[in-house]
Amino acid sequence: MPGSFGNFFMKAILNSPLHGLLGDSFAVITVTGHKTGRAISTPVNVSFADNCYTVVSTRDRTWWRNLRGDVPA
């Protein structure tokens, strides 16, 4: 479900009490835009193993470019 409508739909479900319907493999990550300074939220796939989260996203997404230095997500 790519595109802004799909992202809106997924974020709405993940931030609601219905989050459990999708399971534990989805989350919303929020980063601060490097150039704009605005908060950018996008749904991602996550995996938890060995006390560590691994975030998986498609290659065409660019949110990860805002993770520079000690920037929180």
pLDDT digits (tens, 9 = 90+) for 43-65: 888 888 899 888 887 777 778 78
**pLDDT number for residue 1:** 45
Does residue 6 have a pLDDT over 80? Answer: no
**pLDDT number for residue 2:** 56
Domain boundaries, the chain: 3-66
Tokens of 56: 């998986």
The Cα 12–Cα 63 span in angstroms is: 18
**pLDDT number for residue 34:** 80
**Could you say which DSSP state residue 1 is in?**
-
Residue 24's SS3 state is coil
Task: Supply the mean pLDDT for the chain.
Answer: 78
Closest to 25 (Cα-Cα) out of 7, 8, 58, 47: 47
The Cα 42–Cα 31 span in angstroms is: 9
